[in-house]
Structure 1
Amino acid sequence: MNAARILALDFDGVICDGMAEYWQTAWRTYTQVWQLDRLEPSPGVAERFRELRPLIEVGWEMPVLIRALSLGISPERMQSSWQKIRDRILADGRLSGVKVSQQLDSVRDSWIQQDPAGWLRLHQFYPGVIDTLKELPSRKIQPIIITTKESRFVTQLLKEQGVELASEFIWGKELKRSKIDSLKQILDRGAKKSPAVWFVEDRLSTLSKIATQPELESVKLYLADWGYNTVAEREAALQQSRIHTLTLAELPTLGGTPKKAATVSKGEPVEVDV
């Protein structure tokens, strides 16, 4: 039982529900990138954006999704061909994902500087998740957050909830590393300790790609059924032997049932070579 125990977690759609903030940030970015005078969305756009949020893999795609909706592209077409539509919109606007991403982060940074309380209020943490994060160290499990969000935003949100996770355990967009490569790095760095690794993600496509990697065969994969995914995706996950669906109530039991509910706001990090 000397093996390191690591719970790797996606952030958006697993730990935090930031849908209200996503919409506001995406809309502000959209109006700036496409230089719009109109500052209010058309009726129904916000609702369709929320319904199509499971399509988004990386944050910069959000304002592009709003652009697709404004062009009248149907949700059905986007469901079947999102990446092609996304790339065409970028090409038509002579844009790149990097440029849109920089604008998105700039919008967030300005918002946080001008109205930090308002920005924080738009984020809701899923019930019990914060308690689970606080309680993991007492169970000798090290949480590692692997996210496409900038780690500084994650750090700020967690700190507001009383979770102070060291920067070495928050792997954000700035590392420019895929989730596949991040999991491989966890295994490589912990090779001497034969780490037991669980990974919780709300995107089925991401988990399906990970499941094809022979090097990651030992990683236990879980689809968070409370996150940004659809009924069809959850049903499809049941057909994949490597992927297990996970309910919010089951999250605290990964790695063994906790002794009691979390009461500690801070914990010493588990010694893990990652």
Structure 2
Amino acid sequence: MASGHLYALDFDGVFCDSCGESSLSALKAAKIRWPFIFGEVNSAMEEWIIDQMHILRPVVETGYENLLLVRLLVELKVPPVRKSSVAEGLSVEAILENWLKLKPTIMSEWNEDKDSLIDLFGRVRDEWIENDFPSWIGANRFYPGVADALRFSSSEVYIVTTKQSRFAEALLRELAGINFPSERIYGLGTGPKVEVLKKLQAMPQHTGMTFHFIEDRLATLKNVIKEPELNEWNLYLVTWGYNTEKERNEAREISRIRLVDIPEFSKNLK
């Protein structure tokens, strides 16, 4: 039986603040998907959209949702292009509060398909990386101290993310100088995070280890709590990622979840 600690770590919101990059990628993709709407968007409005996306980032679970959000923001500001019943009178704060209800409504009313939006979002990122890699890297940043925590970690570490694995791998390499093993990155397409955690704990080499899962999304941690099979996992919500004060306060009331700041994260990982 192995002893020691295994850490499953989210990527965006734990290591990487990718909000600038994902918002710009969403704008590029939205111009391709909906030229009849985004042809009217000028640079001042693009700046406003990117500012609002920093507020809305906590609701994004998978990258393609950024496309939906940038279009919804345009519909808020430009009534003539509205195609959704929810846009009138909607505020950015209301989107933040009600995204899970709004998303299926706008997907239906815009006649959109999740898989094709995921493909488009990935393709736009790939083209940006291919055509101007330095500016793509520069649109991301790592939270202070977290890369060193990973670099000097003596624990068994896996990255479990809804980002495409190749993007996470490139960012670790270019921003942090860390060549993280690709087989330890479970990215988009490897299944829901709860299933990845089950897979990790079932590996024979991990028998007897202490399991830790570190996330910035409270909803993801709640999904883990619903799975009796995952009762052995210690759960942590980071205080620096894409979550709100309201969510952090809620997490404090849940006995399974501990809040963790960067100094404690670094100390634990080492």
Q: 1:131 aligns with which of 141, 148, 152?
A: 148
> Structure 1 residue aligned with 2:61, among 53, 57, 73?
57
Partner of 1:174: 189
Runs of 4+ in 1 over 6 A off after TM superposition: none
The residue aligned with 1:79 is: 96
Over residues 139-191 of structure 1, what are the superposed CA-to-partner deviations in whole Å (9 max), with x where a residue is unaligned? 2x11100000100111111111221111110000032x111111111111147
What is the letter of the counterpart of residue 21 of structure 1? Answer: E
1:148 aligns with 2:148: no
Amino acid aligned to 2:166 = R
Q: How many residues align?
A: 252
Partner of residue 165 from structure 1, selected from 160, 165, 180: 180
Gaps of 5+ in 1: 259-274
Which secondary structure state, in structure 2, belongs to the residue aligned with residue 127 of structure 1?
coil
* Structure-to-structure mapping, 1:28-107, within 5 angstroms: 28-35=28-35, 36-38=38-40, 40=42, 42=45, 44-72=48-76, 73-107=90-124
For residues 216-227 of structure 1, the aligned pairs below 5 Å read 216-227=230-241
Question: Retained in 2: the 8 A contact 1:151–1:174?
Answer: no
Q: Could you say what secondary structure the match of 2:189 adopts?
A: helix
Partner of 2:208: 194
Query: Does the CA contact (< 8 Å) of 2:20 and 2:50 recur in 1?
Result: no
Q: Deviations over 1:61-87 (max 9, x none)?
A: 011011222222322432332123111
In structure 1, distance between residues paired with 2:163 and 2:141: 16
**Letter of the aligned partner of 1:174 in structure 2?**
G
Say what the alpha-carbon RMSD is for the aligned residues: 1.7
Q: Distance in 2 between matches of 1:101 and 1:8?
A: 24
Q: Deviations over 1:202-228 (max 9, x none)?
A: 001111111121111110100011000
Instruction: Name stretches of at least 5 consecutive residues in structure 2 with no aligned partner.
Output: 77-89
1:79-117 alpha-carbon deviations (Å, 9 max, x no partner): 332123111222122211111111100110000000001
User: Once the 2 structures are TM-superposed, how far is the Cα of residue 134 of structure 1 from its aligned partner?
Assistant: 1.1
* Secondary structure, aligned partner of 2:62: coil
Determine the C-alpha separation between the residues in 2 that align with 1:113 and 1:91: 33
Contact 2:24–2:50 (8 Å) recurs in 1? no
- Distance apart, 1:10 and its partner CA: 0.4
Question: How far apart are residue 4 of structure 1 and its match?
Answer: 4.8
TM-score normalised per structure 2: 0.88
